[in-house]
Chains A and B, each alone.
Chain A
Amino acid sequence: MKLTFHGISKTFVSERGEVPAVRGVDLTAREGELFVLLGPSGCGKSTVLSLAAGLLKPSSGEIRFDGELVAAPREQVFVSPRERNVAMVFQSYALYPHLDVFGNIAFPLRVARMKEESITAEVARVASMLGIGELLRARPGELSGGQRQRVAIARAIVRKPRLFLLDEPLSNLDAALRAATRTELKRLQRELAVTTLYVTHDQTEAMTLGDRVALMQDGRVLQIGTPRELYEEPRTPFAGSFIGPSPMNLLPAGVFEEKGRLYLRMGEEAVVLPPGKAGEVRRLATDRVLLGLRPEHVRISGDPGPTALRGIVVSAENLGRERLVTVDTAGGILTVLTDGEAPNEGAVVGLELPVDTASVFRPEDGG
């Protein structure tokens, strides 16, 4: 099923006035796609999920399932959650405490008045798929976090929903279980081929799971793309700093031209831009930019070349496989991820700036 949000806004009315949670969101999750909504807490991603589920009505805009209108305040269309056939896995799991595991998984089928024999067969099928066939008589209170998670997923997939919604499903699991469940979720989603909206604030989850990712901030979608596109071509400084194993360095730089070549000036030092980047900077039509440099792309070198910046090492942290080095340069503080030997604190080093893979932003886009 294809899910489309067109110009969706949601404003909550409280005693303290109107609070906009989602502002003009456009997005399309394609048939069978695992679409991730990524953003910091309070960015509106869970509200988007509730809007897709029909637990909330949009204030304006249109939501379509395969072209069919399911919510549009202007046309006064609203399809209730029970008629949408969507399933959701809640962050809290929301298992029914008065029912055993079988009863929980069977619940949507019983509500749909399926025959009891078919229910037994269906429950057994999904339970074995998720490896909880032995637990059918247990109460939610007797289960571990990981087992509850599986029951919640089983309940969601048992009735073959058109749309699968996952609200931070891994955030209550410990680190080891989280990585394992992440892989399994991905496999399960591929197997079922159900269009899936997945909400998370964890960029690692978004990057590893998502076919495409929508990055949200302050109720708006900033950028939609494959994980690779978001990593390589962030459109805003926020996207650059939110996505990636460690936040992107953002250096303010002046732009100037000399003898037909474009340079970036940081403090007293300047680096020359390769022709491709020069064109990109020209298109921004600004004399000041924010230069976005990924810590894992900056190289520490002994002698500074034409695209290098000199600085003093402030600190070096050992992260195990890599070292995170903080360097004070004329352009500002830079962090560098290196798998080589870390220089001593106080040492003067040259930093090889990866100008061709760097991102350039207008300073007014924030940072």
Chain B
Amino acid sequence: MSEERGIRILYIVGAAAMSAFCLLPVAYMVLVGASSRPDVLSAGASVRLTAGHFFEVLGTGSLHFPEYVLNSIVVSGLSAALAVALAAPAAYAVTRLELPGRMSFLFLVLAVSMFPPVSLVSYLFRMMSTLGWINTYAALVLPYTAWVLPLSLWILASHFSRIPRDLDRAALLDGCGRLAALRKVMVPVAAPGILSTGILAFIFAFNEFLFALLLTTGRNARTVPVGIALFEGLHGEIPWGMIMAAATLAVVPVVLLVLLFQRGIVAGLTRGAVKE
């Protein structure tokens, strides 16, 4: 029994405990969603496993669940794409140009992101009402973009600052302007970082509740978190089974997204760029 083996065992035990702690609520969610009765864990309850809630959630027209999923994907996707598209040139400017006070700029941006959303929401509601945008994608996409932009900028700036400066210098000498250097060299080289930033922004927007609750009043732009929260049972009781089934289904797009782009997030893409 070597020390190495001991460390390995500790490592596995630790990882298992951590995973269990994080995944227990998820397991509970899936279990309740797939059970005929919500009191699945109470003693003596006669419960059988069923896919009924899942079909109910997807099939009941009055719940509009598939529409909410689509809304969530569109809103989060647009927000993430916009945020990354705006953050990338900003991160390039912050890391590559000789700007006075760029650190102050970064901290100002960080400070803005510290604003509690609840302090903004009443103003946002008035603004969106005045514009007549309540219940539209724009009412959510614009605030979400602004909300995830600081985070995206910080992450991208850290990715960009790890790209050797000689690379974009080489691009400038090879005939690129600043924008072309960003597009042809920085973005492809930082692609894994950009993808993971986009996914993070997507997940943030996907999970958002408060803005979505107040800026949507109907199913046209309502997103999954709000949609699930507004599920009502037939006789006013809380339909736990359906809520859990819907929550389980809502995880699917995010998991798919991560699995899909995992291949793109290959570490070590910068290998061989410069001699360290």
Contact = CB atoms under 8 A, between A and B. Distances in A.
B264 interface: no
Given A55-B169, A96-B185, A112 B164 contact: no
Interface string B243-276: 0000000000000000000000000111111110
A53 B272 contact: no
B262 to A, nearest CB: 18
**Chain A interface size, under 10 / 10 to 19 / 20 to 34 / 35 or more:** 20 to 34
Interface stretch (B122-130, B174-182, B193-201, B229-237): B174-182
A97 B175 contact: no
Contacts of A108: 174-175
Contact of A96 (B167, B175, B180, B275): B167
Given A107-B174, A155-B174, A97 B169 contact: no
B90 interface: no
A166 to B, nearest CB: 12
Contact of A82 (B176, B184, B191, B275): B176
B98 to A, nearest CB: 9
A86 interface: yes
Contacts of B167: 94, 96
A81 B189 CA distance: 22
Contacts, number: 90
Contact of B269 (A90, A97, A172): A97
B173 A81 contact: yes
A87 B173 contact: yes
Nearest to A152: B170
A82 B273 contact: no
Interface in A47-68: 53-55
A158 B172 CA distance: 16
A80 B181 CA distance: 13
A94 B167 CA distance: 5
Interface stretch (A142-150, A204-212, A277-285): A142-150
B272 A94 contact: no
A97 B186 CA distance: 11
Given A92-B166, A94-B164, A98-B189, A148 B174 contact: no
A82 B175 contact: yes
B173 A148 contact: no
A117 to B, nearest CB: 20
B188 interface: yes
Given A97-B189, A98-B191, A82 B272 contact: no
A111 interface: yes
Interface in A89-113: 90-98, 107-108, 111-112
Contacts of B177: 80, 82
Contacts of B176: 82, 111
B170 A142 contact: no
A53 B269 contact: no
A86 B173 CA distance: 7
Contacts of A172: 275
A82 B274 contact: no
A93 B272 CA distance: 9
A140 interface: yes
Most buried by B among A87, A94, A139, A140: A94
Given A82-B175, A92-B164, A97-B189, A143 B272 contact: yes
A142 B172 contact: no
A10 to B, nearest CB: 13
A144 to B, nearest CB: 10
Contacts of B166: 90-94
B273 A140 contact: yes
B118 to A, nearest CB: 38
Given A81-B172, A86-B173, A111-B176, A140 B184 contact: no
Contacts of B270: 97
A141 interface: yes
A148 B188 CA distance: 20
A88 interface: yes
Contacts of A139: 272
A113 B166 CA distance: 23
A111 B272 contact: no
Given A98-B189, A112-B175, A90 B170 contact: yes
Interface string A268-286: 0000000000000000000
Nearest to B164: A92
B232 to A, nearest CB: 52
B274 A111 contact: no
A3 to B, nearest CB: 15
Contacts of A55: 169, 172-173
Most buried by B among A96, A97, A143: A97
A112 B184 CA distance: 13
A97 B174 contact: no
A7 B184 CA distance: 36
Nearest to A139: B272
B172 A94 contact: no
Contacts of A98: 188-189, 191, 269
A169 to B, nearest CB: 11
List the 9 closest pairs (A to B, CB-CB), nearest first: A141-B272, A92-B274, A140-B272, A94-B166, A97-B273, A108-B174, A141-B271, A111-B175, A94-B170
Interface of B: 164, 166-167, 169-177, 180, 184-185, 188-189, 191, 268-275
Given A81-B172, A112-B175, 4 more contacts: A82-B173, A92-B274, A95-B272, A140-B271
8 contacts: A82-B176, A86-B173, A94-B273, A97-B272, A108-B175, A111-B175, A111-B176, A142-B272
